[in-house]
């Protein structure tokens, strides 16, 4: 059984912002409806949040439209947008502890990891895109005819952003920052499970000087506020991160409304391939972190681990030892490696998959049970003796559950890695440059990590192949999806072109 921490003393942060943020103001929803946001450590209510419905989305979109069509933001010099965004980043850095506490109580994420890593990284992401704001330009063309032509890169307009609950801060910033740098105005719906930090970021954006109407935050339910955004006739672009099933609905809504372009970062069932020449201890540690980081609630989790037969037995032994030493408990305890799952619904879904794996005949090497009798804690869980068609091998579980399988040849490993409807990420552990090059070019996934995992960077784009979606977050590719190209053409001579 994994190690268990009984938690640590912690004072609940004051919850200052619980209303919708529209046109630069915190306002009640028009319906007066509210919903509860829950502390996954205990299952208790943290606070009540104003619930955005279609009517609120309409108001937010109208504010964003006015800000785009006649406000200063899209017309502002890129250097001035950069200055304001940099101020926003500075304010985030001044409030790291408070934001970290909000995400810890709202999403069950590790406080010390948030404070020391994820929240400071959001400020860096904003700075990265602020640095690009004054470098958006087209190019002069050389047409074959007697024409002078050039292209303009223009902001696409009002964008609707829908983000998931597993990384409330990271997902907020990696979508909002490039959209703002491009000169767009934004309506963003945080997940109903984790709205607290998004509202706090809106407060800081106002302080930084982002004009009214440019950033609008509308917490609400995916089934109500989500379609109101994706089908809205006055939203010019949608970027969504979430499940493949909902991604289909987003595409349908966009197509059936004003045919707005969409970008989708969807599910994953990512493979990690460990070859005979790997350092077994290092490989086991990479594999463990690959599936247990953020409680396995991460779309690129290395949840399918394939190990070459020469080191399989030793690898399995080390992996199980490490999993049993993994400490599960209160996310505010610095000795804890894994907090609670983000919600009761997700907690129950993961446990149901574990039971399904047992019924399918997989061997449970370790874990498989809840931890404690309060909150949404689950032991690190590892299955072996799995078959490719098992549900636990094919479905995205989105929790601390790994399936382990043996392979003989490189070709067999590549075939198994690609035997999935998803294509988001993959990991390779080997000392051989030939193996690394061959396998990385053969796996159909948007990002490949060699002898590491979860190595993200602001300048490293990531996104999916196949049913993991299309479009990229991070990197300049993310900035470009909020821009569109306009060609301007004129005859070289004064006479009209005929």
Average pLDDT over residues 190-215: 98
Specify the CATH number for the domain of residue 67. 3.40.605.10
Q: Residue 196 — very low, low, confident or very high, per pLDDT cuts 50/70/90? A: very high
Average pLDDT over residues 178-199: 98
Residue 429 has pLDDT above 50, yes or no: yes
Tally of CB atoms within 10 A around 371: 22
Per-residue pLDDT reduced to its tens digit, 372-411:
999 999 999 999 999 999 999 999 999 999 999 999 999 9
Are 63 and 186 a contacting pair, CB within 8 Å?
no
Average pLDDT over residues 479-494: 92
Per-residue pLDDT reduced to its tens digit, 45-78:
999 999 999 999 999 999 999 999 999 999 999 9
Task: Give the per-residue pLDDT at 351.
Answer: 98
Q: Are 76 and 113 in a shared domain?
A: yes
Choice among 118, 265, 316, 379 that is catalytic: 265
High-pLDDT (> 70) share of the chain, %: 97
Is 145 contained in some domain?
Answer: yes
Give the contacts of 135 (CB within 8 A, at least 6 positions apart).
78
Are 241 and 172 a contacting pair, CB within 8 Å?
no
Average pLDDT over residues 316-335: 97
Is 495 contained in some domain?
Answer: no
Q: Are 187 and 282 in a shared domain?
A: no
Per-residue pLDDT reduced to its tens digit, 110-155:
999 999 999 999 999 999 999 999 999 999 999 988 899 999 999 9
Residue 40 phi/psi, 5° resolution?
Answer: -70, -10
Q: Are 362 and 435 in a shared domain?
A: yes
Task: Give the per-residue pLDDT at 495.
Answer: 58
Instruction: Give, in order, the Cα–Cα distances in Å from 469 to each of 164, 265, 336, 354, 464.
Output: 15, 5, 33, 26, 5
pTM, 2 dp: 0.95
Task: Give the per-residue pLDDT at 257.
Answer: 98
What b-and-e string marks burial along 373-387, b requiring 16 or more CB atoms within 10 Å of the CB? Answer: eebbbbbbbbbbebe
Is 2 contained in some domain?
Answer: no
Is 315 contained in some domain?
Answer: yes
Task: Give the per-residue pLDDT at 497.
Answer: 52
Domain range holding 53?
A: 10-266+464-485
| Distance (Å, whole) CA 229 – CA 60 | 10
Is 3 contained in some domain?
Answer: no
Instruction: Give, in order, the Cα–Cα distances in Å from 247 to each of 40, 64, 120, 164, 238.
Output: 26, 24, 30, 12, 11
Q: Are 146 and 88 in a shared domain?
A: yes
Q: Are 260 and 278 in a shared domain?
A: no
Question: How many folded domains does the chain comprise?
Answer: 2
Give the contacts of 201 (CB within 8 A, at least 6 positions apart).
92, 99, 169, 172, 173, 176, 217
Q: Are 242 and 291 in a shared domain?
A: no
Q: Are 287 and 187 in a shared domain?
A: no
Task: Give the per-residue pLDDT at 1.
Answer: 39
Per-residue pLDDT reduced to its tens digit, 71-103:
999 999 999 999 999 999 999 999 999 999 999
Q: Are 92 and 231 in a shared domain?
A: yes
Is 455 contained in some domain?
Answer: no
Cα dihedral 106, 108, 109, 111, rounded to 10, equals 80
Q: Are 58 and 177 in a shared domain?
A: yes
Is 459 contained in some domain?
Answer: no
Q: Flag the least confident range among 217-221, 348-352, 492-496.
A: 492-496
Backbone dihedral region for residue 78 (phi beyond 0: left; psi -120 to 50: alpha; all else: beta): alpha
Residue 12 has pLDDT above 80, yes or no: no
Q: Are 109 and 244 in a shared domain?
A: yes
Give the contacts of 184 (CB within 8 A, at least 6 positions apart).
68, 74, 155, 156, 157, 158, 159, 237, 482
Per-residue pLDDT reduced to its tens digit, 351-378:
999 999 999 999 999 999 999 999 999 9
What is the CA 361 to chain-centroid distance, rounded? Answer: 33
Q: Residue 276 — very low, low, confident or very high, per pLDDT cuts 50/70/90? A: very high
Are 115 and 97 a contacting pair, CB within 8 Å?
yes
Per-residue pLDDT reduced to its tens digit, 439-459:
999 999 999 999 999 999 999
Q: Are 252 and 305 in a shared domain?
A: no
Whether 388 sits among the annotated catalytic residues: the reply is no
Q: Are 209 and 327 in a shared domain?
A: no
Specify the CATH number for the domain of residue 382. 3.40.309.10
Task: Give the per-residue pLDDT at 14.
Answer: 77
Per-residue pLDDT reduced to its tens digit, 299-316:
999 999 999 999 999 999
Is 116 contained in some domain?
Answer: yes
């Amino acid at each position: 059984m994994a190690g268990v921490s009984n938690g640590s003393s912690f004072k609940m942060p004051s919850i200052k912002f619980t209303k919708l943020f529209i046109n630069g103001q915190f306002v009640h929803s028009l319906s007066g409806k509210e919903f509860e946001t829950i502390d996954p450590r205990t299952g208790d209510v943290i606070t009540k949040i104003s619930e955005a419905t279609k009517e609120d989305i309409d108001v937010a979109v109208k504010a964003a439209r006015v800000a785009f069509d006649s406000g200063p933001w899209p017309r502002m010099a890129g250097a001035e947008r950069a200055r304001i965004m940099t101020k926003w980043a500075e304010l985030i850095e001044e409030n790291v502890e408070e934001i970290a506490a909000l995400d810890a109580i709202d999403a069950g994420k590790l406080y010390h990891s948030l404070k020391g890593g994820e929240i400071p990284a959001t400020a860096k992401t904003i700075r990265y895109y602020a640095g690009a704001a004054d470098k958006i330009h087209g190019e002069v063309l050389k047409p074959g005819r007697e024409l002078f032509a050039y292209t303009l890169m223009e902001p696409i307009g009002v964008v609707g952003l829908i983000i998931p609950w597993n990384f409330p801060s990271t997902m907020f910033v990696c979508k909002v920052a490039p959209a703002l740098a491009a000169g767009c105005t934004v309506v963003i719906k945080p997940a109903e499970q984790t709205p607290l930090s998004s509202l706090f970021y809106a407060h800081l954006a106002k302080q930084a000087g982002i004009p009214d109407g440019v950033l609008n935050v509308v917490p609400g339910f995916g089934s109500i506020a989500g379609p109101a955004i994706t089908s809205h006739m006055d939203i010019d672009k949608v970027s969504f991160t979430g499940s493949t099933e909902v991604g289909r609905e987003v595409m349908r809504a966009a197509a059936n409304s004003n045919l707005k372009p969409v970008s989708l970062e969807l599910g994953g069932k990512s493979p990690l391939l460990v070859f005979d020449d790997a350092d077994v201890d290092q490989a086991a540690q990479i594999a463990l972190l690959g599936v247990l980081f953020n409680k396995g609630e991460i779309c690129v989790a290395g949840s399918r681990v394939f190990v070459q037969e020469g080191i399989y037995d030793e690898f399995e032994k080390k992996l199980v030892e490490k999993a049993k030493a993994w400490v599960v408990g209160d996310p505010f305890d610095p000795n804890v490696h894994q907090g609670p799952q983000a919600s009761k619904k997700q907690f129950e879904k993961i446990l149901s998959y574990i039971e399904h794996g047992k019924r399918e005949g997989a061997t449970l090497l370790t874990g498989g049970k809840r931890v404690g009798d309060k909150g949404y804690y689950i032991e690190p869980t590892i299955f072996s003796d799995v078959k490719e068609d098992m549900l636990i091998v094919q479905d995205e579980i989105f929790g601390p559950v790994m399936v382990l399988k043996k392979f003989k040849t490189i070709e067999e490993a590549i075939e198994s890695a690609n035997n999935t409807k998803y294509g988001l990420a993959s990991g390779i552990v080997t000392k051989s440059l030939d193996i690394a090059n061959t396998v990385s070019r053969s796996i159909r996934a948007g990002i490949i990590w060699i002898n590491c995992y979860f190595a993200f960077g602001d300048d490293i784009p990531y996104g999916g192949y196949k049913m993991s979606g299309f479009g990229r977050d991070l990197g300049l590719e993310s900035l470009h999806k909020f821009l569109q190209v306009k060609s301007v053409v004129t005859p070289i001579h004064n006479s009209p072109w005929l």
